[in-house]
Structure formats: structure tokens, C-alpha cells
Chain A
């Protein structure tokens, strides 16, 4: 490249500037755009919203008191004396109990995942960013938890701490921290090796500032996607715990617990007894499909 050849090139940047004037859109804006144009995800997100709303407003929506027992109205089929969904083995209205049960299930589904995302996410970011011994220390500790099947671990923890909703949530949180941590660690390790972290370090920025400005934004996506997929797992596990008698205690309305107590009556009123299972199934399917949609919208290489 001779000097004259270079100098006869058009004034710098003119060609560069002519790039198509695309609409300027941030990452989250483009995620929102893709989500709005994904009809399936929109539909199931709407379903999830309905489920959440029905749980929140359960006291207003329930036609009967979910704890009101009746000796003569036990195990009645759909539609018996205004009990749209029938009654259970103690004569309590199934519709009211399903609505109220959703509150426990959703709480048990969402709260442990939220806490685990924060705790596990932070641990993972720290492990991934620090590397070396810190990484080994944190990740090998997580591997110890990984050695147990998640159901077994949840059962063991809540069994050791005793039943009850708070202990159940605690057990689920502990179960979810290791995988959450691993997802955050992987994402952080990927980001850490990129030049812009090095460039940030070259300006003299400290570790904390680099993590806050440059790492968190890039790790949030994968963590959020994974967390959304864990919600349905959490609901299922929570129901499982209740089913085994390790979650909430009777007479609290909870899908897992209802499934457990109604299972003896499956030959008497099969459809009524299957209702809590159907509720669990629909809820977890809806959360799963929304999570899939989120993954599709967010998992984009830009």
C-alpha cells in the first residue's frame, strides 16, 4: 500500500456512514419485539397470567369456603348442588380448593426460583469472574449437591428440617442454587474472556465496577431463561413434597396434598380426584411453554 494509493481513497468514513439506518433497538427492546410477534408464547403467557390472577383473587372467586366440611356432601361428582367441580373426601368444594391451592403452588413455584437465581447467580458470577481457586471452591461445593438427584435432595432436606411451607421453600431453594450457579458461571466465563472486559480493565476499572457494568447485563439473559424453566420444575417438586407429606400440612389447600388425600377415592369419583393433577399439569405446561418462548426470543447471538 503506497502512500499515494491510500490518500486517494475517499474521505474516511463517508462509505462507513452510509450503513442502513436501522431502527436503534436495545437488547431488551428487541426481545420484547420478538415476544409480541410470537403468538403461541403470547397465548400461554396470557394463560399464566390468568392462573396467577385466579390464585391472587382466589378468596373473591371461590364460590364456597375451601375449608367448610360437610358430612353428607362427600365425594360428590361435578355439578352436585352448585359445587361445579364436585367435592372432596371431607365434603369441601373442589373449585374453591383448587383456586386456593394455586396460591401455595405458585408461591412454592416462584419464590424458591427467585431466591435461588439471586444467590446462585451471584455465586456463579463471582466464581466465573474470579476464576482460579475461588471458582474451584464454589463450583466443587455445588458439585457435591449435584451428586444427589434433585427430588431426593429436596425430600432429604425438607425431611430433615420438618414439613411446612417455609421449610419446603428452603429445601427447593437449596436444590435450585447449584444449577443456577452453574448457568451463571458458564455465562460469566464466556463473557470474561472477551476483549471488552480486558479493555475495561485497561481503563483501570475495579472488579466490582466491571462486574456491575459489563458482566451482569450479559449474564442476566441466560439466568432469566433458566429461571423461567425452573418454575414448572419447582411447582412439580413442591407438589411432590406435599404429596409425600413433607410440604404444607393439612387442611391447607394445596394441589399436591389434595392429590395425595384424594387418591384413595379415585374409584369413587375419578374425575374429581384427577383435578389437582390436571391443575398441576396445566400450570407447569403453561410455564414451560412461556419459558420456551422466552428462550427463543432471548437466545440470540447479536
Chain B
């Protein structure tokens, strides 16, 4: 039912009539996105969930977003769809600023961007047959009821569920993997160009996880999609992503091509994250966790580099000055926010680190 990798002829992506900026225009540009959640009764203190994040999502790529729990990954996902409003910052979708007079509206954005949620159970209405859940999107976006239902049936088949068998079922009659397939069908039913996947496989067991990941890859090719793939699972991100964005406490610490990040991580946090993966090789087992302790409280993030409280290479400059996201000399837009990669920072390891 589901198309496996390789069964689809390699595509030259068909020209999407909605493509306005051309292939080189990033599909989504995020600039200085900030979201603080105020805490009542503390006199203006706030959880700084996303605190000045800028990046681009290129057309047709999969951008992986990794980070510890509570680093702002899910907040970022919701901000990208304007499900919560940012305090400040700018989204530019295919050249059009979002929610600004001369750009596109939020509802226009939502016709082109969709989201798959982590909790496959709570993201389906328990009182609605799954077919109707899938048909809801097209129906809301001005399709007649019959047509919306046809789209739903079609989409269910595309995600590998027999529409006659599964369409009339209710969510509680499906397994976790099946529910997540329905969620993917629901997200794709409105024909989006970009899909934000917020930990789509984290709640699934390993074999189902692999199936769903392969399904996502196949669908991406078939519908010419762009993914923002959020996960805490480094292996999954490595498998599916083209580029990876590493977040720590509401900020980007490193961003680069997946191979470059995984083979030569630059930021000490990324290095620690990668080292914390259990090794398959018994001789390389580690006893001490590479990063200890919990991340600092996002209400009062540490000054300077936010990682300096846990960083093995921290020096005075790290707590004094916030590192810039520096593009490394050599290459392929692999950037890291670390003083060790900024020759002008005054960190004693700066030169060695950037080599």
C-alpha cells in the first residue's frame, strides 16, 4: 500500500503553481522570533521559551530540529503556524511576510503549512470517524462535503490505510501507528507545501516508527513537500533530515548539514548530545553522562552563553558575552554559536576550535 523508497521515479519537482519565489527563495525565513510566556504574579517575569531564533527552511528540504525537553522545540513549531502569536519576530513564507499588510494572512499561511502532532491520540477527535477528521481540513477550506470526503478517502489510501476498512473507525479503534498515519493524512489533506512534524514518531514503538518515517519520506517525494522535523531522537533526525538545527534554552546553538553536524559537531552542547547516545559498540560504552544536570531555568537563563553552566570549556568570556552564530570559515553554512569558533571572542581555545 505504501510506496517504498526507490519505487517512485526520481522527480524533477513539478512546478508548483503556488511557488512564487523560485527554487532559490527559501520557503520559510524566520527572523528573530521571540516568544515569552508571562508568569502571573511575578511582576513581568516570563518563561523565555523561544528567545531570538533566526533560520531558513529551503524548498524541498527536511530541516531537523533537536534539543532537550523544554528547550522550546514545540513552542517554535506552534509559532511557525501562528497557533500562538510571537512577541516579536518575523516569518517570511516564500517571499511574503506573514500577517503583515503587504504579505500573506495567517489563514493563507495555514493553507500552505500543516502540522502533525506528537500525541496521536489527542490529536484526533474521539467522537469523529477518522475519515471525517481527515475531511475536516478540506471542508473548512471551502471544498464541498462530497469532495472533501473523496479527498479524505484518497489520503487514507496514500498513507497506507484501507479507506473502507479504517475510514469509518473511531480513533480508539486504531493502534498508535495507524492513528499517526491518520494524522499525517489529515495534515496532507489540505495540500500543504510545508509540514511541521512535532515529534511525530516519539510515541511509537521502533518498528512502527521506521514504517512511519519511510512513509513520511515517500510522501515528501510524492507531494513535493518541505518538512520541519522536530525530535529529541538524534538517530531519527539523522535518518530523515537534510539539515539539522540544534536548540538549547530557546536559542539556536548550531545549524548545519546533517552529515557535517553528526561527523564534526562544533558546539560543545551538540558534542555532548551526540556523545550521550548509547553506543552499539560495547567497548565504547560510557559510564559518565557527557552532560550532567538539568538545563537552567528558562525563566532566568544564564547570562552570556546559555550553555556555560554545563560546558566543560567555559571561560570568563562565556558568561560575560553572548556568542554570535558564526559561520565557519571553510564551508557549507555550518554555523555554531560558540566563542570557541569566534576568533575575535577572546576564548583561549578559539583558534583551535575553528580549525
- On A, residues with C-beta under 8 Å from B are 1, 3, 5-7, 9, 11-13, 15-17, 19, 21-22, 24-27, 194-196, 198-205, 209, 213-214, 217-218, 302
What residues of A have a CB within 8 angstroms of the CB of B152 in the complex?
Answer: none
Minimum Cβ distance to chain A for residue B93 (Å): 14
What residues of B have a CB within 8 angstroms of the CB of A6 in the complex?
Answer: 210, 213-214, 239
Q: Contact at B115–A1, with CB atoms within 8 Å? A: no
Q: Contact at B123–A213, with CB atoms within 8 Å? A: no
Once the chains are docked, how many angstroms separate the CA of A25 from the CA of B169? 7
Q: 1/0 per residue B151-163: CB within 8 Å of A? A: 0000000001110
Minimum Cβ distance to chain A for residue B232 (Å): 14
Minimum Cβ distance to chain A for residue B73 (Å): 15
Q: Contact at A1–B210, with CB atoms within 8 Å? A: yes
**Contacts between chains A and B (CB distance < 8 A), count:** 127
Minimum Cβ distance to chain B for residue A101 (Å): 40
Q: A16-B175, A195-B123 are in contact. Are A203 and B210 (CB under 8 A)?
A: no
Q: 1/0 per residue B243-261: CB within 8 Å of A? A: 0000000000000000000
B172 at the interface (CB under 8 A from A): yes
* Interface set, chain B 110-135, CB cutoff 8 A to A: 110-111, 114-115, 117-119, 122-129, 133
| The residue from A3, A12, A26, A214 contacting B215, defined by CB atoms under 8 A apart | A12
Q: Contact at A3–B136, with CB atoms within 8 Å? A: no
Total contacting residues, chain B, CB less than 8 A: 58
B235 at the interface (CB under 8 A from A): yes
Minimum Cβ distance to chain B for residue A32 (Å): 15
Once the chains are docked, how many angstroms separate the CA of A272 from the CA of B83? 67
Q: Contact at B127–A27, with CB atoms within 8 Å? A: yes
What residues of A have a CB within 8 angstroms of the CB of B114 in the complex?
Answer: 202-203
Once the chains are docked, how many angstroms separate the CA of A201 from the CA of B117? 13
Residue on A with the closest CB to B177? Answer: A16
Q: A195-B117, A199-B186, A213-B136 are in contact. Are A218 and B168 (CB under 8 A)?
A: no
Minimum Cβ distance to chain A for residue B62 (Å): 14
What residues of B have a CB within 8 angstroms of the CB of A25 in the complex?
Answer: 170
Minimum Cβ distance to chain A for residue B8 (Å): 14
Once the chains are docked, how many angstroms separate the CA of A27 from the CA of B137? 22
Minimum Cβ distance to chain A for residue B178 (Å): 5
Q: Contact at A16–B117, with CB atoms within 8 Å? A: no
B341 at the interface (CB under 8 A from A): no
Minimum Cβ distance to chain A for residue B142 (Å): 10
Q: A199-B115, A204-B107 are in contact. Are A9 and B122 (CB under 8 A)?
A: no
Once the chains are docked, how many angstroms separate the CA of A98 from the CA of B59? 78
* Interface set, chain B 163-209, CB cutoff 8 A to A: 165, 168-175, 177-178, 181, 183, 186-187, 190, 207-208
Q: Which of A16, A22, A204 has the most CB of B within 10 A?
A: A16
Q: A15-B207, A217-B127 are in contact. Are A203 and B83 (CB under 8 A)?
A: no
| The residue from A13, A196, A204, A213 contacting B161, defined by CB atoms under 8 A apart | A13
B50 at the interface (CB under 8 A from A): no
Q: Contact at B162–A198, with CB atoms within 8 Å? A: no
| The residue from B123, B187, B207 contacting A196, defined by CB atoms under 8 A apart | B123
Once the chains are docked, how many angstroms separate the CA of A204 from the CA of B187? 12
Rank and list the top 8 A-B pairs by shortest CB-CB distance, nearest first. A13-B160, A195-B123, A12-B211, A302-B172, A203-B137, A217-B127, A12-B2, A205-B140
Q: Contact at A19–B111, with CB atoms within 8 Å? A: no
Q: Contact at B125–A1, with CB atoms within 8 Å? A: no
B337 at the interface (CB under 8 A from A): no
Minimum Cβ distance to chain A for residue B303 (Å): 34
What residues of A have a CB within 8 angstroms of the CB of B126 in the complex?
Answer: 27, 218, 302
Minimum Cβ distance to chain B for residue A224 (Å): 13
Q: Contact at B178–A16, with CB atoms within 8 Å? A: yes
Q: Which of B5, B170, B183 has the most CB of A within 10 A?
A: B170
Q: Which of A17, A198, A200, A204 has the most CB of B within 10 A?
A: A204
Residue on B with the closest CB to A8? Answer: B210
What residues of B have a CB within 8 angstroms of the CB of A218 in the complex?
Answer: 125-127
| The residue from A13, A15, A17, A24 contacting B173, defined by CB atoms under 8 A apart | A24
What residues of A have a CB within 8 angstroms of the CB of B2 in the complex?
Answer: 11-13
B24 at the interface (CB under 8 A from A): no
What residues of B have a CB within 8 angstroms of the CB of A204 in the complex?
Answer: 107, 110-111, 140-141
Q: Which of B1, B181, B183 has the most CB of A within 10 A?
A: B1
What residues of A have a CB within 8 angstroms of the CB of B78 in the complex?
Answer: 198
| The residue from B115, B123, B190 contacting A194, defined by CB atoms under 8 A apart | B123
